[in-house]
Amino acid sequence: MPGLHANKRGRCPGMRLVTVDRMSVKRGSHQALSNVDLTIDKGEIVTIVGPNGSGKSTLLRCIIGALKPDSGTVLREAGLRIGYVPQRLSIDATMPLTAARFLSLPTKRSKREIQEALAQVGAEGLGNRPMAGLSGGQFQRVLLARAIMDKPDLLILDEPTTGLDQPGSADLYTQIEQVRRDTGAAILMVSHELHVVMSASDRVVCLNGHVCCHGTPEIVASAPEYRALFGTGTHGALALYRHEHDHHHHEHGHDHAHDTCGSH
Ligand SMILES: Nc1ncnc2c1ncn2[C@@H]1O[C@H](COP(=O)(O)OP(=O)(O)OP(=O)(O)O)[C@@H](O)[C@H]1O
């Protein structure tokens, strides 16, 4: 529907896109998720952090509808459009596939649509480059371009910065924020790097089979549940972040208001 997304800029709380309610999921005989609650509102950036095997991808796949919960519910707003970038996508390096051609698969796109999508992710000029020759950051941007082509209300990114170094990750998160500003899409992403993703996230959910804690990035970073899982061993970056931000806490009251941290 043309024009549908034109007005959706910035964060607009209260307009709920997804509600996950007391959801439990088994993978094989393993209880991957227990009693997970999560909401996503129009235009917000929500980041899921958690150790390997903590159910992050499982949660995303349930929200997309690719997996069914064993109990609990996932409610999606009627007509919700989701753009999804999976954790891994390998492309045969021997295949002479340009970025433009990749963006035109499986749905044929016009040159203009392709150019617009590439521009929106800061990847202008990459259209004629072979996919196999792109750097990690460029490759992720092209995946992001493909995910926004259908003008989703919600973009779901499973570890979008896999394989990038820290500056590359920080650049990509900045780009993701820009996409949110330009398109108004909400963004749900998985990251291992809370210290890098912090400034780009409105809310963080720390997962370990259940929701350990959630809230603003600052709240989650200082939660005992988060520290028990990750320690403070983020190469000093977490400590640095806290150092930079601690003294602002009382000046800007928004950190505290509606956050909770506790085992569920
Ligand atoms: N198809 C499957 N069959 C059986 N068990 C599975 C299957 N897929 C995932 N699991 C198990 O479910 C749990 C959650 O997996 P999931 O991939 O959601 O975790 P994750 O947090 O995304 O992990 P990672 O950070 O390593 O990507 C893990 O213990 C995993 O081994």
98 or 11: which leads in pLDDT: 98
What ipTM is given for this predicted complex?
A: 0.97
Average pLDDT over residues 163-177: 86
For residues 223 and 137, give the distance between their C-alpha atoms in angstroms, rounded to a whole number.
31
pTM for the model stands at 0.81
For residues 26 and 31, give the distance between their C-alpha atoms in angstroms, rounded to a whole number.
4
Identify the bridge partners of residue 155 per DSSP, sorted by sequence position: 83, 187
**CA-nearest residue, atom 1 of ligand 1:** 27
**Cα 165 to the chain's mean position, in Å?**
18
For residues 208 and 31, give the distance between their C-alpha atoms in angstroms, rounded to a whole number.
11
Output the ligand 1 site: residues, CB below 6 A: 27-28, 30, 32, 50, 52-58
Report the amino acid identity of residue 151: K
**CA-nearest residue, atom 26 of ligand 1:** 52
User: Domain residues of the chain, as ranges?
Assistant: 16-81+152-251, 91-150
Domain spanning 16-81+152-251: CATH superfamily = P-loop containing nucleotide triphosphate hydrolases (3.40.50.300)
Q: Tens digit of pLDDT for each residue in 227-236?
A: 888 776 544 3
Largest Cα separation within the chain, whole Å, is: 56
Token reading at 70: 């064993």
User: Which helix (H) or strand (E) is 260 found in, with range?
Assistant: strand 260-261
